[in-house]
A and B are shown apart, each in its own frame.
Chain A
Amino acid sequence: MSDVSEALQEPWPNLAVQREGVSFGIWVFLASEILFFSALFITYAVYRSFNPEAFAAAAKETELFYGTLNTGLLLTSSMTMTIALRAATVQWRGVTLVALALTAALGLAFLLCKGLEYHDDLTKNLFPSAAFPLAAPPAQLFWMMYWIMTGIHAIHLSAGIAVDIAVLLLFWRRILPVQGSTMEGVATYWHFVDSVWLVLYPLLYLVGRS
């Protein structure tokens, strides 16, 4: 066990309270994030309730393979992130670093798959424009939702990866001692971004495929 007191920040009295505070703060922020996404979900819900057939037909055009692979990648990354958090809590330095690196790698793999999928989508002209292949106009609404939802999710995931790598570097360079207080916020945010994907996956890939 190394000395972890350097990880204590103003104005907290000790690391235990700081960890509780960071956790509390990040949950409040996530409440905000949930409302951010819920504006998208309500838009999706309204448009799908107006145009159920067009949405079902349009959703069949999504790449189920990439979507499912990405779901697997993110779920696995949540596991490695949990390992990193638990290991950091008991100051198990090596495991923490490896698990953080794996988490970042899985996140990057998700973005790579997403990029390949975007490429396929664009090849099929599925970005709403004059060349859009589906006849029913509301099909374009579905694909509008697809691009905005996955795009905003990808931005969130990129932020998660950046924070993950930043913490990895701080731990690796020994600028911060390995402990759970710093990890608490990072891990909670990461799981949130995963959870959003778990909602997006059925909305975008499974609709119309039953």
Chain B
Amino acid sequence: MTDVTLPFAPQKEVGTESFLDAGHTLISWLTTTDHKRIAILYAISITIFFFIGGIAIGLVRLELIEPSGMFLTSDGYNRLFTIHGIIMVWFFLVPSIPATMGNFLLPLMIGARDVAFPRLNLLSWYLYVGGAAFTIYVLVAGGVDTGWTFYPPFSSDYSNSHVIAAAAGVFVVGFSSIATGVNFITTTHMLRCPGMTWFRLPLFCWSMYATSLVMVLATPVLAMSLVLIVAERAFGLPVFDAAKGGDPVLFQHIFWFYSHPAVYIMILPAMGVVSEVFACFARRQVFGYTFMVYAMMAIAVIGFMVWGHHMFVAGQSQLANLVFSFLSFIVAVPSAIKVFNWTATLYRGQIGFDAPMLYALGFLGLFTIGGLTGLFLASVPIDIQVTDTYFVVAHFHFIMVGGSVSAFMAGIHYWWPKVTGRLYNEFWAKFAAITMFLGFNMTFMPQFLMGWEGMPRRYHVYPPVFQIWHVLSSGGAAILAIAYIMPLVYLTLSLRYGARAGNNPWHATGLEWQTTSPPPKHNFERRPVVIADPYMYHEIGQPRSSHDTSPPLPQGRQI
């Protein structure tokens, strides 16, 4: 393939039209059933929400610089962190990797023409937009102040903010998750190409499968918990009304039955992404492939049994606390297996520190810290000490931002040439990756320290002794903000000015790289046949290079 020297019409030369050229009108995008275009629609939508949620927390961090607050009322502060939580959890993190990379790559990786139900896939995006519309309404109308967890009786009886619209937005976007989950599970079961056995699936596909199971089985429970809140708030039904014998803690059980597994909806896809990136940039087979698969499935299953650790102080019985504490320790075991296996994958690899790898290495360190502090919180006595402090905030941000967002960035950079056919500016990408890592640590490390010393979350006035930590954290947040804006700029610029990437700039294995970049509308010109296990990097024998001038590997061979 000589497309490096033919910058303007290379795909036509080889007789394949890319999916990007299958229609240029807005209507062609809004009515598409092509999984690759839907992935891009999702990517644009979640990016918008990521920055809205980011602005909300930026204001929060600004407010926290002064112990007595700077410009917000207590009520305004509550509304800002609530909208930050709602947007980041449901409108960014949950759909982030599955709906963008999962949508784009799952059919390519298993050698399918599309997902099982392409129109359902489009519907899922419209459901997302519908939920987003409710959330935008909440923003414009003045916000919601319950925290992202909607605990009654505050949310049902006392709050004077837009709880019903916010709950409706989350309810609707939940069905978008369910639609994606149903689609992915069916696609993985029914549409694998010849030779693509279950244990030849790339780990990213396994991560999508595990995530989809959690989406399908947990999200409806969240939906019902929100229905119950709205039933109490809108119709006066005494669902969680203690005066009538109702139990507000029951809501917490139902809510966390979704919301703890939801953490795994956010982290399992990240694990899938970095498994691909580590193998490619260490030029090694993933260490312990089958155990990686079992570990992911174990996380998905055990993740359903640990929700009670969010209620250690809510009046649960000692026995329940003990059982949930034990199970929370158990769920750390498969996560630890994965961390060790990634490390073993790197061991004696030919490591290349390209931008995707830097982001993935960032994931590895931050996820490990987040996971280890999770063990602190799984232990009942320590959790009682630090419940509702910044220690908890720092812990889950290490998992969700340090872990998931780093992996999201790794994936975006790794598959950017696949999606767009262009290379981004490597220097700026590396610079942003390092800045993001440093900014992240500066933001959240101080939160561990002040949380340990007793700084409670969700307060905007605090004793002056904590000011130094808050100032450090806010400074880190500013660095983090710059680090997030950088990719937006250089990736956008690369669409116009980036060099042609060639079909497989990383010399990666995996079916998605064995077709043109960007892929044609139906993914493969001929139906691929898989003849080998994934990640056979030792068989390629080629060094990685960022400019691919070699011919593409034989069609359909996953090597």
Q: Are B186 and A39 in contact (CB under 8 A)?
A: no
Q: Complex formed: what's the CA distance from A161 to B118 in Å? A: 24
Q: Is A6 an interface residue (CB 8 A)?
A: no
Q: Which of B189, B220, B254 contacts A33 (CB 8 A)?
A: B220
Q: Complex formed: what's the CA distance from A32 to B225 in Å? A: 14
Q: Is B185 an interface residue (CB 8 A)?
A: yes
Please indicate the chain A residues that have their CB under 8 angstroms from the CB of B257 in the complex.
Answer: 39
Chain A nearest Cβ from B264, distance in angstroms: 16
Q: Complex formed: what's the CA distance from A89 to B257 in Å? A: 40
Q: Is B227 an interface residue (CB 8 A)?
A: yes
Kindly identify, within residues 1 to 39 of chain A, every residue whose CB is under 8 Å from any CB belonging to chain B.
Answer: 10-11, 17, 20-21, 24-25, 28-29, 31-33, 35-39
Kindly identify, within residues 122 to 165 of chain A, every residue whose CB is under 8 Å from any CB belonging to chain B.
Answer: 128-129, 137-138, 140-141, 144, 147-148, 152
SS of B interface (majority): helix
Q: Are B186 and A31 in contact (CB under 8 A)?
A: no
Q: Complex formed: what's the CA distance from A140 to B231 in Å? A: 14
Q: Complex formed: what's the CA distance from A35 to B254 in Å? A: 11
Please indicate the chain A residues that have their CB under 8 angstroms from the CB of B118 in the complex.
Answer: 10-11
Q: Is A56 an interface residue (CB 8 A)?
A: no
Q: Which of A20, A35, A46, A137 contacts B217 (CB 8 A)?
A: A35
How many residues on A have C-beta within 8 angstroms of the other chain's C-beta atoms? 35
Please indicate the chain B residues that have their CB under 8 angstroms from the CB of A51 in the complex.
Answer: 245
Of chain A, the residue at the smallest CB distance from B119 is: A9
Please indicate the chain A residues that have their CB under 8 angstroms from the CB of B237 in the complex.
Answer: 128, 144, 147-148
Q: Which of B113, B191, B217, B239 contacts A31 (CB 8 A)?
A: B217
Please indicate the chain A residues that have their CB under 8 angstroms from the CB of B185 in the complex.
Answer: 25, 28
Q: Is A40 an interface residue (CB 8 A)?
A: yes
Q: Complex formed: what's the CA distance from A128 to B231 in Å? A: 12
Q: Complex formed: what's the CA distance from A31 to B185 in Å? A: 12
Q: Is A50 an interface residue (CB 8 A)?
A: yes
SS of A interface (majority): helix
Q: Is A47 an interface residue (CB 8 A)?
A: yes
Of chain A, the residue at the smallest CB distance from B186 is: A25
Q: Are A138 and B245 in contact (CB under 8 A)?
A: yes
Q: Which of B186, B238, B250 contacts A21 (CB 8 A)?
A: B186
Q: Are A11 and B228 in contact (CB under 8 A)?
A: no
Residues of B at under 8 Å CB distance from A? 33, 107, 112-118, 178, 181-183, 185-186, 189-191, 216-221, 223-225, 227-228, 231, 235-239, 243-247, 250, 254, 257
Residues of A at under 8 Å CB distance from B? 10-11, 17, 20-21, 24-25, 28-29, 31-33, 35-40, 42-43, 46-47, 50-51, 54, 128-129, 137-138, 140-141, 144, 147-148, 152
Minimum-distance CB pairs A-B, first 5: A36-B220, A39-B224, A138-B245, A11-B113, A11-B114
List 29 contacting pairs A-B, 8 Å CB cutoff, sorted by A.
A10-B118, A11-B112, A11-B114, A11-B115, A11-B118, A17-B190, A20-B190, A24-B186, A24-B190, A25-B185, A25-B186, A28-B186, A35-B217, A35-B220, A36-B221, A39-B221, A42-B254, A43-B228, A43-B239, A46-B250, A50-B245, A54-B245, A128-B236, A128-B244, A137-B243, A137-B244, A141-B246, A144-B237, A148-B239
